Amino acid sequence: MLTDYKTEKIQNLLLVGHGQVGKTTLTESLLVAGGFLHEPGGVEKGTTVSDFDEEEIARRTSLYTSLAYAEYRDHKLNLLDAPGAPDFIGQVITALHVADSVLLLVDAEAGPQIEAIKHSRYALELKVPRAVFINRMDKERANFPAAVEACAAKFNKPAVPVWLPIGSGTGFRGLVDLLNQKALFFSPEDRQPRTGEIPAEVAQAAETAREKLVETAAEGDDRLTEKFLEGQALSEEEILRGLNQGVLAGNFLPVFCGCANRVAGAQALLDACIAFMPHAGQHAVHSGFVPGSPDQPQTREPRADAPFSALVFKTLIDQYAGKFSFFRVQSGTVATDQDVLNVNANRKERLSHLYAMQGKKNIEVPKAVAGDIIAVSKLDATRTGHTFADPAAPIEYPAMRIPQPVNAISVTPSKKGDEGKMGMAIAKLCEEDPTLNFHFESETNQSLLSAMGDLQLDITLAKLKKRFNLDLERGTPRVLYKETIQKAAPGHHKHKKQTGGHGQYGEVYLEVLPRQRGEGYSFEDRIVGGSIPKGYIPGVEKGIKEALEKGVLAQYPVIDVLVKLTDGSYHDVDSSELSFKIAGRMAFREAMQKASPILLEPVMKVKIYADESYMGAITSDLNSRRGRIIAMGSEIEAHVPQAEMLNYSKDLKAITSGTGNFEMEFSHYQPISGRIAENVIKESHVLHGEAKSED
């Protein structure tokens, strides 16, 4: 193994695309071509390098982005194999932060499907150069030209073949490499392709495609364009340079093709990557800021001689070997036993062992230079998203923007006493998966586990069972309604108890007034002349705050009210903070009853991705959920009450034959009335028992 890589000879290639399109299989073939594997493993057999997690093997699908690498002609190609299932989009996004380019795998028959389109959009947003691999050329109805055209349309860029397939379906037998104008023939027995002349059946197409490729290369830089327009031939080296510049600038999408499971084509792909795909040294300058001060920008060049900085983008917790934090060295060099600053945790960490990773297999390395992706083990305080930096030249990289989990369930351990274990076990899984979230909702008294969809929730529960022997019961989470008032109203309460000896006395007059949505609660002390002594005012306010926790309609928190304390009376001996607290609480409740109280429900902003043919069905379904469409283009944006979204991932799958998916986040609260409000109040009574007297 080489250990002395140059930044210019490292490439970080992220494989993305719709589920089951062949990413893991292609990774495996690239590892054979790169010499790491003698035999490719298979997804079906559960023997690939990148799908090593027990659930990945059981389900024959990737759930995490895994890292492997091919060493090829003194280059190191780090291969990031991402999952295609929509629930695991977070894995794609975090990996995009460390990739030099993405390879969008596309099915030769179906063309670009919804996940690939999303991945492409994220890549564009994060400025990661893109290329396309049209896979499954052996499919009966594979159609290369149609797939290329569809890529150009769906990915919004000219798609320019670098290769052409020879044959298709069962007749697929090789490819034309338009760069060196040779044919590569694959035979089932051989790992190495046989090189030969371009067969007559594709000669014409190859000539046209080669012209297009050279023209595209010429557009890569002004000098080349000039030369091309003057009718001079571009040299091989100039063509590669032009293509490299064009890919980096995102002017076009180079298109490769083949069968992921044919190792013969993988070597050609490695050659092509080295020839013109972006290397780590061509990565844009890394932008961050002075630690803790986002308004003071700082940058690092992706060079080995710059100060050290790195971004942690992945955490793997191995049952036996413990925790691994994966990071890309953004700048500088790092060596074993180096002390670095974990900027986010604000503590020094010694990197005692550095590892190159082949799936779960860790291979110790003495150092790593800018651009490389490696892992370090057993750093407790380190989390995905953290920055490591040279303590003498600290920089912090911005937090990665990862979609919020949209699908929540409430969980309770089946066995009493497992609560603590549950918290600890779920925390570990959350560390590995940034789109998984776990928290205790004190207002509804529930432990909530939220994820991007049902698949992710199912997998999480299965893991908790297998890894931690933890059985959880799942329940539907309660929607967190709120209450507020619609008009001003006065309230009064005199709390007076004479039970022999020391009594209790406190009297409060107050007024409640509605505030704008989002303004919250506010308190004004308008007492004049000491009708309530200063020392008791905090008691009154405590009582009001207690009353705010449980509104008068359905015991949901009260928001957006102004309370003015106007008058009261006290008793020299019997008054106490407690007496005023009770008086304050009761006076508020009385005022709220009179102030036209109303229920508010949380409304989510929902973004739905699906094929155009389903748009009609999706919008009419949203209407039946009291949704309001706010934008409609290649995706639908809508405001929908949270109560209507509890089972949406299942329902959307049903509407879209399993292909649609969505993201959502909290938007605002809106009033509800009529039947809907009555039901919420009824349910609350069932939950809390009939409203009892509060005093």
Ligand X SMILES: Nc1nc2c(ncn2[C@@H]2O[C@H](COP(=O)(O)OP(=O)(O)OP(=O)(O)O)[C@@H](O)[C@H]2O)c(=O)[nH]1
Contact residues for ligand X, defined by CB under 6 A = 19-25, 43-44, 61-62, 83-85, 135-136, 138, 259-261
Considering the complex, state which of residue 59 and residue 121 has its C-beta at the smaller distance from ligand X.
Answer: 59
Question: Least separation, in Å, of the C-beta of 259 and ligand X?
Answer: 4
Q: Is 579 in the site for Mg ion (CB under 5 A)?
A: no
How would you label 423-444 residue by residue, b for 16+ Cβ within 10 Å and e otherwise?
eebbebbbbbbbbbbbeeeeee
Q: Which does 25 bind (CB under 5 to 8 A by kind): Mg ion, ligand X, none?
A: ligand X
Q: Which does 597 bind (CB under 5 to 8 A by kind): ligand X, Mg ion, none?
A: none
CA-closest candidate to residue 572, choices 501, 503, 493, 499: 503
Q: Which does 135 bind (CB under 5 to 8 A by kind): Mg ion, ligand X, none?
A: ligand X
Question: Least separation, in Å, of the C-beta of 287 and Mg ion?
Answer: 31
Provide the 10 A C-beta neighbour count for residue 45.
9
Q: Report how far Cα 645 is from the mean position of its chain's Cα atoms.
A: 20
Considering the complex, state which of residue 107 and residue 238 has its C-beta at the smaller distance from ligand X.
Answer: 107
Question: Least separation, in Å, of the C-beta of 92 and ligand X?
Answer: 10
Q: Which does 259 bind (CB under 5 to 8 A by kind): ligand X, Mg ion, none?
A: ligand X
Considering the complex, state which of residue 62 and residue 659 has its C-beta at the smaller distance from Mg ion.
Answer: 62
How would you label 97-134 residue by residue, b for 16+ Cβ within 10 Å and e otherwise?
bbbbbbbbbbbbbbbbbbbbbbbbebbbeeebbbbbbb
Question: Least separation, in Å, of the C-beta of 114 and ligand X?
Answer: 13
Give the interface segment with Mg ion, choosing from 57-65, 113-121, 234-242, 413-421 (CB under 5 A): 57-65
What's the angle, vertex CA 138, arms to CA 106 and CA 82, rounded to 5?
35
Tell me the C-alpha distance between 268 and 256, whole Å: 10
Q: Which does 539 bind (CB under 5 to 8 A by kind): ligand X, Mg ion, none?
A: none
Q: Report how far Cα 42 is from the mean position of its chain's Cα atoms.
A: 27
Considering the complex, state which of residue 137 and residue 606 has its C-beta at the smaller distance from ligand X.
Answer: 137
What's the angle, vertex CA 250, arms to CA 157 and CA 34, rounded to 5?
105
Provide the 10 A C-beta neighbour count for residue 355.
18
Considering the complex, state which of residue 62 and residue 684 has its C-beta at the smaller distance from ligand X.
Answer: 62
Q: Which does 309 bind (CB under 5 to 8 A by kind): Mg ion, ligand X, none?
A: none
DSSP E strands in 570-613: the ranges are: 597-609
Considering the complex, state which of residue 259 and residue 591 has its C-beta at the smaller distance from ligand X.
Answer: 259
Q: Which does 576 bind (CB under 5 to 8 A by kind): ligand X, Mg ion, none?
A: none
Tell me the C-alpha distance between 391 and 337, whole Å: 14
Count of residues that bind Mg ion according to CB under 5 A? 3
Which residues from 192-251 bind Mg ion, rule CB under 5 A?
A: none
Tell me the C-alpha distance between 25 and 31, whole Å: 10
Considering the complex, state which of residue 265 and residue 394 has its C-beta at the smaller distance from Mg ion.
Answer: 265
**Are 435 and 456 in contact, with CB atoms under 8 Å apart?**
yes
Residue 314, SS3 per DSSP: strand
Binding mask 1-30 for Mg ion (x = CB under 5 A): ----------------------xx------
Considering the complex, state which of residue 272 and residue 411 has its C-beta at the smaller distance from ligand X.
Answer: 272
**Are 522 and 596 in contact, with CB atoms under 8 Å apart?**
no
DSSP E strands in 515-623: the ranges are: 522-525, 561-569, 597-609
Tell me the C-alpha distance between 191 and 177, whole Å: 17
Q: Is 62 in the site for Mg ion (CB under 5 A)?
A: yes
Q: Which does 477 bind (CB under 5 to 8 A by kind): Mg ion, ligand X, none?
A: none
Question: Least separation, in Å, of the C-beta of 694 and Mg ion?
Answer: 57
Q: Is 48 in the site for Mg ion (CB under 5 A)?
A: no
Question: Least separation, in Å, of the C-beta of 55 and Mg ion?
Answer: 13
How would you label 596-626 residue by residue, b for 16+ Cβ within 10 Å and e otherwise?
ebbbbbbbbebbbbbeeebbeebeebbeeeb
Write out the residues near Mg ion by the rule CB under 5 A. 23-24, 62
